[in-house]
Amino acid sequence: MDSDDVVTTDGKENMSTEPPNLLIVDDSTAIRKILLRVLHQTGLPLGTVLEASDGREALKQMEGQNISLILSDINMPNMDGLELLRALRGSPLWHDLPVVMITTEGGQAQVQEAIELGATAYVRKPFSADLLRDKLATLLSK
Amino acid sequence: MTPEPVGAIGALPIEQMANMLFAATEEVFTSMLGVEIQKSAEPAPEQVGSFDGVIALIGLTGPVVGNGALMCSAEAACAMSSLLLSAELSNVDEQVLDALGEITNMIVGGFKNLLETHTGRLQMGIPSVIYGKNIATRDSKANVVVTAGCAFPGGKLDLKIHLAAARR
């Protein structure tokens, strides 16, 4: 892992001019609040920001929605973040959707697994809010 | 407690693991809570008597099994949660319990990431948080107990990691 604990692969460019709709997936309401705050601190226009507490709920929330970016934890009950990623990459509708994994799982094997499954970026918790804000600003402005 | 061989961590000194636990805690406080911590008196490896306050627990499994625990007073729990959420929280409610669970998740996760370089891949469960008075705990079947006592501007917290060899 690099020194700033963020690993990024090539994300698809968001060609839409509408403010992006986002989905935050984490079983901790505290982390969802922190991520929401960081997202607003990017200063970029945001559409609807949906929240889900696990992968299963995330898939339900996405039905009929035009989501541009997902921020997802890995360790969650019911359906974890890697299962969610696998489901998205297997879906014709969502297989190109940028997904940022934000997780305590920092081992090289876990990072590799997430990247191989198609994660756009991998951010380890605990994170620097400044670093995450910059990363999200870069992804959202593409 | 005298360490007994526990799989891949048998050769790892307790003091080194305690430093790993403190380092993981320090990173969470610095990055997410925005305050520095200091080492304080280490908790006894085994709980003596009852306890008033908050205990957050999270399981570990893999080549070694066990759990990580964070223990603190209600006041310290509110102080940590307030720092994490940039809010004024003075009662132990669902918000504070959730925040304590996440702080424990990050601390134990950080320790796990360091320990994995010695043990191979470990997996974590999801946190459970208990708040009450006269809480009695019993640490059973742990061959190794790693402890760290920490002080921060809002109070003190104790951390414990219990590890045992995985059953074959």
| DSSP 8-state code for residue A90 | T
The pLDDT tens digits for B126-150 are 999 999 999 887 766 778 999 999 9
* Contact between chains at B85 and A30 (C-beta distance less than 8 A): yes
For this complex, say whether ipTM is above 0.95: no
Lowest pLDDT segment from A19-23, A96-100, A106-110: A106-110
Phi-psi region of B7 (alpha: psi -120 to 50; beta: other; left: phi over 0): left
CATH code at B7-41+51-165: 3.40.1550.10
- Which of helix, strand or coil describes residue A98? coil
Closest CA relative to residue B6, chosen from B97, B140, B131, B142? B142
For chain B, which residues make up each domain, given as ranges? 7-41+51-165
Question: From B108, which residue of chain A is nearest by alpha-carbon distance?
Answer: A104
Residues 6+ apart with CB under 8 A from B94: none
* Contact between chains at A126 and B28 (C-beta distance less than 8 A): yes
CA distances from residue B5 to B14, B23, B69, B138, B166 in whole angstroms, order as listed:
11, 24, 22, 21, 12
- How is A19-37 classified by DSSP, letter by letter? PPEEEEE-S-HHHHHHHHH
- What pLDDT is recorded for position B3? 40
Q: Which two tokens mark B24? A: 């993981």
Q: Which portions of chain B are predicted below pLDDT 70?
A: 1-8, 45, 47-48, 139-140, 168
Average pLDDT over every residue of A46-56: 96
Q: Phi and psi for B109 in degrees, rounded to 5?
A: -65, -40
Question: Hey, which residues does B149 pair with through a beta bridge?
Answer: B40, B158
In this complex, the residue of B32, B98, B121 whose CB is nearest that of residue A107 is: B121
- Could you tell me if B68 lies within 8 Å of chain A, comparing CB atoms? no
In this complex, the residue of B30, B95, B105 whose CB is nearest that of residue A104 is: B105
Assigned domain for A12 exists: no
Kindly report the average pLDDT of chain A as a whole number: 87
In this complex, the residue of A33, A107, A126 whose CB is nearest that of residue B116 is: A107
Report chain A residues whose CB lies below 8 A from the CB of B28: 126
In this complex, the residue of A106, A110, A128 whose CB is nearest that of residue B31 is: A128
Q: Which domain, by its residues, includes A57?
A: 25-127
- Could you tell me if B116 lies within 8 Å of chain A, comparing CB atoms? yes
Is the N-terminal amide bond of B5 cis, ω within 30° of 0?
no
- Could you tell me if B106 lies within 8 Å of chain A, comparing CB atoms? yes
Question: Hey, which residues does B124 pair with through a beta bridge?
Answer: B60
Assigned domain for A61 exists: yes
A135, containing H or E segment: helix A129-140
Average pLDDT over every residue of A106-118: 86
Assigned domain for A4 exists: no
Residue B95 Cα, gap to closest chain A Cα (Å): 7
As a whole number of angstroms, the distance between CA B113 and CA A7 comes to: 16
Task: Please indicate, yes or no, whether the overall pTM of this predicted structure exceeds 0.90.
Answer: no
Assigned domain for A82 exists: yes
* Contact between chains at A30 and B86 (C-beta distance less than 8 A): no
Report chain A residues whose CB lies below 8 A from the CB of B111: none
Average pLDDT over every residue of A22-36: 96
Count how many domains chain A has.
Answer: 1
As a whole number of angstroms, the distance between CA A16 and CA A96 comes to: 14
| DSSP 8-state code for residue A14 | -
**How many interface pairs between A and B have CB atoms less than 8 angstroms apart?**
61
Strands B64-72 and B155-165: antiparallel
Report chain B residues whose CB lies below 8 A from the CB of A104: 105-106, 108-110, 112-113, 124
Average pLDDT over every residue of A62-84: 94
Count of residues for chain A?
142
Domain of A78, CATH number, reads 3.40.50.2300
